[in-house]
Chain A
Amino acid sequence: MKQVLINYILHLADNAMILAQQNSAWCGHGPILEQDIAITNISLDILGQARNFYQYAAEIINGLKSSSTGGGLEGASEDSLAFFRDNREFKNCLLVEQENGDWGKTILRQFIFSNYQYLLYEKLQHSKDEQLAAIATKALKEVAYHLRWSSEWVIRLGDGTDESHQRMLNAVNELWQYVDELFMNADYETELLKENISVDVSSLKNKWLEKTESVFNEATLQIPQNVFAKIGGKQGIHTEKLGYILAEMQFMQRAYPGLVW
């Protein structure tokens, strides 16, 4: 039971961690200063979510260890969970590990994800697990800003110049295959549904589509139909991109374990 809960928390944490890491690569490279600041601010918010989830997971892991082994093992921490787990242990969805690409692709990835995360946290607020509910309630207000910001940019670029419109079409083509995975329950989600701890992500899809449709209409974009869905991230089967992300993100702690600023 506890292991299932840990898996679920790590899934929530990894989603946030990997997207934060990806967005942060825009620091100093944004198209204009204000938007450079915006995307890195969003990155910081999401990193905060990841920290809260990792801290909570570490607390549970350490609780388990001390009861079964007398606490002899080195404790888990937010850092050890972010920096010392391998590719296959990460449970983020495939969407967040996709390359930043151009500004349009980063914007669309953020919109797809924030739209999903807003609906997810809205329900997670009522989780039977009090800590998950508290983290979700807190983060929801921030995600509302992420969603508003990314919606506006999808419209601005989609309904912008020929060039920006074409780039948004490319982004839709590249990213849509990773949308369906967001709405497929992994085993840990299904298991925790019985306890009213997790959110049934399949129930979020209609509302997600509604919102996407209204934004896409204004952006003169269309939702692609019958796209073959790529899945597996939530079970630890990732695209090759995650390896590169982890190599960069984990290098310092792997090379110099315990290094602090």
Chain B
Amino acid sequence: MSEAQTLLSVSGLTKDFGGIRAVDSFSFDVREGSITGIIGPNGAGKTTVFNLVTGLYKPTSGTIRFLGEEIGGRRPDTIVRHGIARTFQNIRLFNRRTCLENVLTPLLQRERCGFLGAMLGLPSVRRMERALHDKAHSLLAALGLDAYASFEASTLPYGLQRKLEIARALATEPSLLLLDEPAAGMNPEETHSLANLIAEVREKFNVTILLIEHHMDLVMNICSPIVVMNFGALLATGTPEAVRENPEVVKAYLGERKEKR
């Protein structure tokens, strides 16, 4: 059995916004092939960590290494090309574009294509476009969205919009997929099928998952390890059982017993 390598390694990560320290000397690792969960009370800095990893914010100090390479402070699109994709807490779709076009956009960005040829509409370019259309369709189909391919993204029901965002993220062919509260606003049934979807995605697309969640049933069910944050710093990390029993965690977070967001 080969040793799973460390995909993402965050060390001493700190982020200040003016006088506020949102992330405080935060360190953790993500093992390849795992589904790692980050939990913590609201305002603990979880989404800020995501934003730092994906290049939306520049770290104040600390390092973020992906596959050995330092990516802290790089541009978001550069980091995407390295193989990290994400979804957002408040869904950010290309609202007025169809589902197909939402997924097609990242696929197109990955294509090497001559500008002149594209402007003239050469047959080779048309062929490439058709191939990408097919690829987009199959990606939608893999997430059960192919029926909605020509629907405008904003017309989709909430749950499907979340799935579409995941599909779009997968179109960038990532090695690491960051999901920011994917189960937000879902009922227990939807959360359950989301858990299955996440496991399926990991299998089918060979991608490591890192997710932020408040739905404890989802996190405890599929994530291992679990990283707990509070006030921007690492509180605990370990298996679901270990975290559940950790008195610090219980005190800071689980003890509040807020069942659902």
The judgment on whether A and B are partners is no
